[in-house]
Every structure is written in structure tokens, then in C-alpha cells.
Amino acid sequence: MKLFIDSADVNKIQLLNDYYSIDGVTTNPSIIVKEGKPYLPLLKDIQSSIGTEKELFVQAIADMAENIVEEAKYIQDSLQGNIVIKIPVTSEGLKAIKLLSRMGIRTLATTVYTPMNAYLAAKAGASYVAPYVNRIDNLSGNGIQVVKDIVEIFAKSNFNCEVLAASFKNTQQVLEVCLAGAQGVTASPDIIEAFLKVPSIKENVETFSKEWYGLYGSNSLLD
């Protein structure tokens, strides 16, 4: 199962990528705007910090299919490496996904709220769909159930499209989409860091060290 960092904070991305096995970085317009920097140099910095072989997701801004396609080609040409273009599941977005798929440009259908949004995106040729788990929950929906339904539809239809669950408020939601069979998740640095926030780990490690050094002094295993 893939793990992506949902952020454009280069320092955080670098840190998480150093410590954990990360498959790439997802961004959206809000995430990029938060950094307050020119976007192309920022995206290049993100690529340098993770390596161009890892996937970097960049969202199109245009409304009309032809303009989305132009933006996608521009982003592909401006950035080397493994780029996936994020496109919202509007009717124009679906048309753009279809056109880009024929050109061999990989896309992720974003702002997915229902299984049928995802179905249309997969039919159009999207490589990924991103159901917005927490935003669905905030609309009194059931984000986990939406992910389960999409996973089931894709498996039954043999679609060549991965479910990359997105929009999380806590680690429990991430756990539940993993169990639901999503092929990947994208989460903010805070959520990824929270995977390891178990006080008992630190307590256990401190006890091990105290007991070891109590008998062997400051000697490590190498001494």
C-alpha cells in the first residue's frame, strides 16, 4: 500500500522522506498557496527532496477540458520525473482525463465524494481516484464506506485505477481505509507523525537502555 505526503512544506517533506518509506507527494492549490512561494520552483524543490523517481501530484486549475489539458502538458514539460496531474471530477475534468489518458499523461481524479464519481473517473482512464474521506464525513456521509464501495466496484470491473484515499483528520480514518483495501493513502505530515505517537514505545526503549547500561556501563553492542 502506497503512502504519500499531502503537503508542499519542503522541510517537512525532506524530514519525513529521510525517516520513512514514502512513495511521493500530493499537492493541491490550497496546499501550495499556504507556502506563499512561486509554485514551479517550489515543486522543483519538492522533487529534489524526494527524488524524481517518486510520484509528485500537481493539480490543474483551469475549468475547461482543453485548458486543463494545456496546463497538464505545461506541468509535464516544466517538471522532469514522475508527475501525475490531479483533476477535479467535473464533467470538464472527466473530458480532460479522457484526453490526457489517450496522450499517455497520468491523472488522478480528485474531489471524489461518491462511488459513482470514482466510477466515471476510472472509465475515463484516470490512474488514481482520491475519495475525500474526512470531507465526506463532515457532510454527514460515510467516507470509509465510500472507499470500500469504490474498492469493490474497481475490483469487480477489473478497472486499472488505484484508490488513493485522501482528506484525513485522524489516524483511525487512515487505518480504516487501509483495511477497506485502498491501494494508497495521502496524509498530512501531522497525521503521518501521529502513526508513531505511542508513549509506551519511548517508555519501553528507556527501560531497555536503563537495564542494559546498568549492567554493561556505557558500552554499546559494538564495544
Task: Kindly state the smallest distance separating residue 120's Cβ from ligand E4P, in Å.
Answer: 18
Task: Kindly state the smallest distance separating residue 184's Cβ from ligand E4P, in Å.
Answer: 11
Is residue 28 close enough to count as binding ligand E4P by CB under 6 A? yes
Among 90, 135, 193, 212, binds ligand E4P (CB under 6 A): 135
Q: How far is residue 158's CA from residue 105's CA, in Å, rounded to a whole number?
A: 21
The type of residue at 142 is: N
Site string for ligand E4P, 143-182 (x = CB under 6 A): -----------------------xx---------------
Task: Kindly state the smallest distance separating residue 145's Cβ from ligand E4P, in Å.
Answer: 17
Select from 125, 114, 123 the least CA-distant residue to 85.
125
Among 26, 76, 107, 117, binds ligand E4P (CB under 6 A): 26
Taking the CA atoms of residue 185, residue 189, residue 192 and residue 198 in that order, the dihedral angle to the nearest 10 degrees is: -160
Among 82, 134, 171, 183, binds ligand E4P (CB under 6 A): 134
Is residue 130 close enough to count as binding ligand E4P by CB under 6 A? yes
Among 76, 110, 117, 127, binds ligand E4P (CB under 6 A): 110
Cell of 49: 527532496
Is residue 84 close enough to count as binding ligand E4P by CB under 6 A? no
End-to-end CA distance of the chain: 39
> Residue 220, Cβ neighbours under 10 Å: how many?
8
DSSP one-letter string for 42-67: HHHHHHHHH-TTSEEEEE---SSHHH
Cell of 17: 522522506
Task: Kindly state the smallest distance separating residue 140's Cβ from ligand E4P, in Å.
Answer: 16
Is residue 6 close enough to count as binding ligand E4P by CB under 6 A? yes
Segment (H or E) for 136: helix 133-138
Is residue 192 close enough to count as binding ligand E4P by CB under 6 A? no
Closer to ligand E4P by Cβ: residue 49 or 59: 59
Catalytic residues: 86
Q: Which residues contact 222 (CB under 8 A, 6 or more apart)?
A: none
Task: Kindly state the smallest distance separating residue 188's Cβ from ligand E4P, in Å.
Answer: 7
Q: Which residues bind ligand E4P (CB under 6 A)?
A: 6, 26, 28, 110, 130, 132, 134-135, 166-167, 186
